[in-house]
Structure 1
Amino acid sequence: MLIPNSPPARERHVAHANCRHGSTKFTDNASPLILAIAVAAALIAGAVLAQGSRDLGESFVAERAGRDEASPALATPVALIWRLSGAAVVGWAAAGLLLGALSTSLASIVADIGSTNPTVQAMLEQIAGAGNVEQGTVTIFFTMLGVLAACAAVQTVCRARQEETQGTAEVLLATPIHRVRWLGGYLVIGFVALVTVVFAGVVGAALGIVGQGGDLALMRDVGVVGGGQVAAASVFLVVTALVFVVLPRATIALGWTLVLVGMVLGLFGPLFGFPAWLTDLSPVGIAPLIEGDTVDMRGLWWLLGTTAVGAIGSLGLMRRRELVTGG
């Protein structure tokens, strides 16, 4: 515990005073990087040792014996898909909750920094548009949230490809379940997944405002950008489903590549000085946002139109598609 007149306490007081007057001097401290490298090395070594003593396809924790009959909750393809994907969706939602909380709890801090540092303010304006700094901060974090939601959606569709290559989809489709209904189940669960991630982010944003005693009016911005990212993530969902139908072997690689490219163009494109037509190719980059007191709808209708066409096209083409079991 620090006593009031100890040197560390005085140093912190001087640093705080310098920060308020914009004259803080920063020094390099390599200890966090060294700690991170050491932890990563320990985890990698542990994983290698564990892999050497693990049986193929088995885990260290014994599996529980299954039920003789399936639960009534698994009576539909949608319920089965949720059973397979639910744990991953919860994980993405937890990350969304944390990201949402950071978006509002850090908004006022970033605004204070931006008011005294034109460089920070200019960077936020480049990435997030013409709104104020708090709005820009929320927009940036929720753009990242849209990427997380897209990841949850793409992972759900990729699971359909995994079920197909492993042969379990063939067993399911040997029943009266039609292949269109089967793929439709993945689209439904994928949409539920991305909405869940964004909703968790909105809840986290509300908690961040309450925890910081901030202005609840910021929730209007959160609602607008959150809804826009739902539309943006839906595009990744249906495009991946379309790839699954047309080029099944490229589903996983191309699906994740599209998310990566969309993130780079939409989140970092303005910062890197990419032309507007290029950054507008990213769904997360043209989602609606707040600029001052107005709502910039930007490419909302393009997002909704693309989602509708992609969903209808993938389901329609699935009627004539045969199972492709090869990797």
Structure 2
Amino acid sequence: MGAVGLFFMGAACSSFPSENDALGEFSGAFEADPNSGLAFSVILTGRAEAPEAFLYAGGSYLRQRPLAHVAVLVRHRTETFLFDTGLGRNIDRQFDAMPFWVGPFFAYETTNAAADAIGGAREPLDRIFVSHLHWDHASGLPDFPDTPVWLRREEYENAIDPASGPPAFLREQYEAIPNEWNFVEFDDGPYELFDQCSDLFGDGSVVFVPLNGHTPGSMGMFLNLPSGRRFFFTGDLSWALEGLLLPAQKYFVSRSIVDGDAGQTRTSLARVHRLLQERPSLHAIPAHDALAQAYLAHYPDFEH
């Protein structure tokens, strides 16, 4: 997630690409199979709290906002998978690798690791997808050592680069485990406002898209339920829904630490902002916005 606890004065957002800039053209969504059996559930693995101003530029310094560390359990008629893992069983030990100054800024409270919440017998997993490999999204990977992991090649190569490390990446989470690594390929053509996508099952129910900027290989996930409701899990592109709706970048100190490419992040924010204007019924879900997630089904309940 990033240093949301740093207390400095905010700064105005840099300008965003306008609708006349190169955001692309709408291609529409694939028709989703009404018999996909798609359902999902949010697994809360940890909590935190921060002033709203630290989540998005223009937020209040006086209003405290709840934050969430989550995994998303997705069921399809053909398989079950996780999107991100949240905080894992060994997060406290993993966190020891952080620089000494990080502790107060990345404070968290654990709830229940995804592996403990779902249990292998109750919810056997076929694979895990990760939006990106930052510490609070990859912490649970060692809890599933035999489960194949899927991510973008750019994300994997960036994470294993010797220059990548704390406070964004904790290499123990993804280097010392025998997971089978696989790469998501965006070879299914344009989707909505994105010029490339991966239609996971070929039935329009689960679609991954690139969300470059926060990390080189960040990606988001569309879930198109048989009921007709649509959800877009946007990872850490923004830490608050307001960042997508306004749009607004993260607090300037935080984004200088955690957003790898400021220009690409602004472009991705502008693209999602325009998408939400065009698709008002689409539910955008930032990975850490507890308020945006509050109305969603939490495990063991499911959205259908």
Larger RCO, structures 1/2 (Cα 8 Å, 6+ apart): 2
Structure with the higher fraction of residues in strand conformation: 2
Structure with the higher fraction of residues in helix conformation: 1
Same fold (TM over 0.5): no
| Structure number with larger C-alpha Rg | 1
TM-score by length of 1: 0.22
TM-score by length of 2: 0.23
